Homo-oligomer: A and B are copies of this chain.
Amino acid sequence: MSRGAGSPIGLHRVIEPRGVLPQAAWRLDNSPELYDDEVRVRVERLNLDAASFRQLREANDGDGARVRAAVLEIVRDRGKMHNPVTGSGGMLVGTVEAVGERSPLGLSVRQRVATLVSLTLTPLAISDDLAGWDGADEQVPAAGHAILFGRSVAAVLPDDLPVPLSLAVLDVCGAPALTHRVVRGYLAPRVLVIGAAGKSGALALAAARHAAAGSVVGLVPTEAEAAVVTDSGLADSVVVADARDPVATASAVGAPADVTVVCVDVAGCEGGAILATAAGGTIVFFSMATSFAAAALGAEGLAADVTMLVGNGYAPGHAALALDLLRSQHGVRQLFEQRLDLELSMKE
């Protein structure tokens, strides 16, 4: 019962307004019948974006039943879990249920997958009224189905790793992929990772070394974080500085870096990254707190001949590379497990 060919970016699922991208749409067609290049996933769990969940909690006075009703209403109205206030979504975990004959994603029925494109553009229907969720946590047990387009991205969850660990890695897998690609463009470069003790920072350190960096420097804000990175063994050296202070940052780094990767989610780190990078070098900004204008004007003001990249979260093979780094570099796994334990303990 094929519906014919779909648009690889899902334009055929847009109901309202017509002609916009699925992410910009108010409402998507979430019907289960597949177009030829689509995949249907049986949903197991939604991971709501942190900002979205916080907003829903606050708007509903922390009342779990009302939070649950609000999520159900959004999905019913929009055909996707796209919080209209925050504009954000999240991701989902489920099992492949049907694969269109022309799907290019390479998925097979019964594979367990995580979607790596946002819920804001993923057609979704809920069939269990979220009965298994108390509305008190952004991890939402759910039954229903979701649709992947030809150009969607989903990663098969590996059998050899705990699911929360895989999800934490997949969440930031764009950072090591782009770091790897940029570092490979230089001969044994000096690589600086700002925010080295975080999840994307640790993977960026590992990716840089994997890509044959000459030396890898981690920058962190505190001695405690320096100890964590040193202990992980992922960096050749670790320095402590406030990344918002350009002069202090450049001074702590010493010899300028050929490649600088900004992974710290704090505003105002553009100047430090620019000042710590050599002429002819490249800066990759992965922090969503990056200001486009601060980066552009900062480099101009310093007459800095540096290439500055917007950290694109997608690159072919990004999920596999990140999971391989986790498996092959003990320090990555150690750091991720510490982080997950910390997050778990903070929730209790």
Contacts and interface: CB of A to CB of B under 8 A. Distances in A.
Interface in A272-323: 275, 285, 288, 290-293, 295-316
B309 A304 contact: no
A266 interface: no
Contacts of A9: 275, 302
A247 interface: yes
A182 B133 CA distance: 50
Given A307-B312, A310-B309, A312-B308, A290 B288 contact: no
A247 B120 contact: no
A168 interface: no
A153 B292 contact: no
A151 B260 CA distance: 21
A301 B247 contact: no
A311 B11 CA distance: 30
A313 B299 contact: yes
Nearest to A88: B297
Q: Is the interface of A mostly helix, strand, loop or mixed?
A: loop
A121 interface: yes
Contacts of A255: none
Nearest to A317: B305
A303 B117 contact: yes
Of the four ranges (under 10, 10 to 19, 20 to 34, 35 or more), the interface on chain A belongs to 35 or more
Interface string A182-225: 00000000000000000000000000000000000000000000
Interface string A109-130: 0000000111011000000000
A161 interface: no
A152 interface: yes
A20 B290 CA distance: 19
A299 B314 contact: yes
Contacts of A296: 288, 310-313
Nearest to A178: B307
A275 B20 CA distance: 12
A19 interface: yes
A21 interface: yes
A320 to B, nearest CB: 15
A113 B334 CA distance: 57
B288 A21 contact: no
Contact of A314 (B11, B24, B248, B304): B304
Q: Which of A152, A246, A301, A311 has the most CB of B within 10 A?
A: A301
A115 to B, nearest CB: 11
Interface string A220-240: 000000000000000000000
A309 B312 contact: no
Contacts of A151: 302-303
Contacts of A303: 117, 151-153, 314
Contacts of A248: 19
Contacts of A311: 296
A89 to B, nearest CB: 10
A271 interface: yes
6 contacts: A24-B246, A117-B301, A299-B310, A299-B313, A305-B314, A308-B312
